[in-house]
């Protein structure tokens, strides 16, 4: 099976590190032109864009916007429009997590996280869909989390946002299907990134291996490669649903008995 995205134009939000950066790399390797969104201008992102462009013979460019500001989404898409004639793929990856006891969660922290993790993806999806309707369709990938389905203490607001994004995936997939727009959620589990590595080592890699039925912690390729497939014509019948990529982690009840306040972020 040849999975190619040659000639497609993609926007990846939060594309300068972790899973987002690997998604940018994988899309470019599959032949797509990519706009790599960053919250602020980033020298490393510019270098990465230039390297991928040369390596794969595609166009990769950095675009900037702080999603804590709702008006920035329009500006991000205006930047995209100057780069490419149409958008075929949107990967809603930008987001963050912080920790609060629910009874102590400040309203501004609640609102701030929901703005970036739920409202901004909605705004991006809306902007992309308006363009995709005109061009005949496209694919929207929403980066969710296993915490859209299962809970742990300290991140209630994060789980609420990701659960909302999961329902947005379903709703948008149903509403926009008639326009040739597919919407798919991806919910990662424990993935080894620069941000997560210290936490994994502190908790104990052996414990993770025991908690995860697959027996190992995932890497960013384990998320990016399926996303390339989901964006391709081979996945044309997949929409309004969520793919859990977690090695069975979210289904292992034992881990919730053994773990207390340990933090996992994709």
Handedness of CA 228, 230, 231, 236 (dihedral sign): positive
CA distance 237 to 216: 30
Of the CA atoms within 13 Å of residue 241, those in its CB half-sphere come to 8
Closest CA to 138 of 81, 91, 95: 91
Check if 158 is active-site: yes
Q: What is the DSSP string of 133-197?
A: HHHT-EEEEEE--GGGTS--TT-HHHHHHHHHHHHHHHHHHHHHGGGTEEEEEEEE-SEE-HHHH
* Intra-chain end-to-end CA distance of the chain, in Å: 29
Paired tokens of 131? 């363009």
From 56, 100, 158, 208, the catalytic residue: 158
Are 27 and 5 in contact by the 8 Å Cβ rule? The answer is yes
Tokens standing for residue 26:
């994988």
Positions marked catalytic: 158
């Amino acid at each position: 099976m040849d999975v190619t995205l040659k000639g497609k134009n993609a926007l990846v939000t939060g594309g300068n590190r972790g899973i987002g950066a690997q998604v940018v790399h994988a899309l470019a390797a599959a032949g797509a032109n990519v706009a790599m969104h960053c919250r602020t201008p980033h020298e490393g992102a510019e270098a990465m864009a230039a390297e991928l462009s040369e390596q794969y013979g595609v166009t990769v460019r950095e675009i900037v916007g702080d999603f804590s500001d709702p008006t920035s989404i329009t500006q991000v898409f205006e930047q995209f429009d100057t780069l490419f004639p149409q958008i075929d793929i949107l990967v809603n990856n930008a987001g963050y997590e912080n920790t609060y006891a629910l009874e102590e969660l400040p309203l501004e922290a609640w609102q701030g996280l929901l703005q970036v993790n739920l409202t901004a993806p909605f705004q991006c999806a809306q902007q992309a869909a308006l363009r995709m309707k005109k061009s005949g369709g496209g694919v929207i990938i929403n980066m969710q989390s296993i915490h859209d389905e299962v809970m742990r203490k300290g991140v209630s607001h994060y789980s609420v946002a990701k659960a909302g994004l999961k329902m947005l995936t379903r709703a948008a997939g149903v509403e926009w299907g008639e326009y040739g727009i597919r919407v798919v959620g991806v919910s990662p589990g424990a993935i080894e990134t620069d941000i997560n590595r210290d936490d994994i080592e502190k908790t104990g890699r052996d414990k993770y291996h025991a908690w995860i039925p697959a027996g190992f912690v995932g890497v960013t390729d384990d998320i990016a490669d399926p996303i390339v497939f989901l964006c391709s014509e081979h996945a044309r019948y997949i929409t309004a649903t969520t793919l859990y990529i977690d090695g069975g982690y979210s289904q292992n009840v034992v881990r919730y008995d053994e773990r207390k306040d340990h933090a996992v972020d994709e």
